[in-house]
Amino acid sequence: MENHTIRSLTSARKQRREMSLPEGLLWNQLRQRPHGVKFRNHHPIGSMVVDFYCAASRTAIEVDGISHDMGDNPRRDLKRDAWLASQGVAIFRIAAKDILHDPADVADGLARLCANQPPPAAAVAAATSPSGGDSGVME
């Protein structure tokens, strides 16, 4: 998917180098392609970056630490989720504490979710720019 901004691509590259502990633990499991499912690490979509992305099922996985419950972050997350859904991307949020408890089990569950989940109906109609860019993308 090339529907991203230069800014989000730059941010994704930085986030790949600076993963949190839960993200790193989960990525070590997901990069092994559990159940044959391929995941992308810190994938840019529009003007944002999702923690992990499965292109086959158009599913974004977000790792939620305690900071997601603070201040304006819950509202920001809802806004992000709504925009991603409007683009035909399903969103699955997982608590960082669950990953810390058993990253292999979480990865297995995510892979099963993505392997059994057909793309959302909106995915068929979702318009993406073949050359990237930010047309119609939320800032």
Per the domain annotation, does 69 fall within a domain? Answer: yes
Per the domain annotation, does 18 fall within a domain? Answer: yes
Residue 123: C-alpha distances to residues 29, 31, 87, 88, 118 (Å): 27, 24, 7, 4, 10
For the segment 7-11, the average pLDDT, to the nearest whole number, is: 71
pLDDT at 64 over 80: yes
Per the domain annotation, does 75 fall within a domain? Answer: yes
How does pLDDT run across 92-127, given as a tens digit for each residue? 999 999 999 999 999 999 999 999 855 555 544 444
User: Is the backbone of residue 120 left (phi > 0), alpha (psi -120 to 50) or beta?
Assistant: beta
**Residue 11: CB atoms within 10 Å:** 17
Domain count for the chain: 1
Tokens of 99: 């990953």
* Exposure on the CB side of residue 125, measured as CA atoms within 13 A: 5
Q: Is the pTM of this model over 0.85?
A: no
Bridge partners, residue 53, by sequence: 40, 60
Q: What is the Rg, in whole angstroms, of the alpha carbon atoms belonging to the chain?
A: 14
Average pLDDT score over the chain? 79
Confidence category of residue 68, pLDDT binned at 50, 70, 90: low
Nearest residue to 22 via CA among 74, 69, 61: 61
pLDDT at 54 over 70: yes
pLDDT at 12 over 80: no
How does pLDDT run across 23-37, given as a tens digit for each residue? 999 999 999 999 999
pLDDT at 80: 87
By residue range, what is the domain housing residue 25? 6-115
The CATH number linked to 62 is: 3.40.960.10
Per the domain annotation, does 135 fall within a domain? Answer: no
Per the domain annotation, does 138 fall within a domain? Answer: no
Per the domain annotation, does 129 fall within a domain? Answer: no
Q: Give the integer Cα–Cα distance in Å for 93 and 130.
A: 28
Per the domain annotation, does 121 fall within a domain? Answer: no
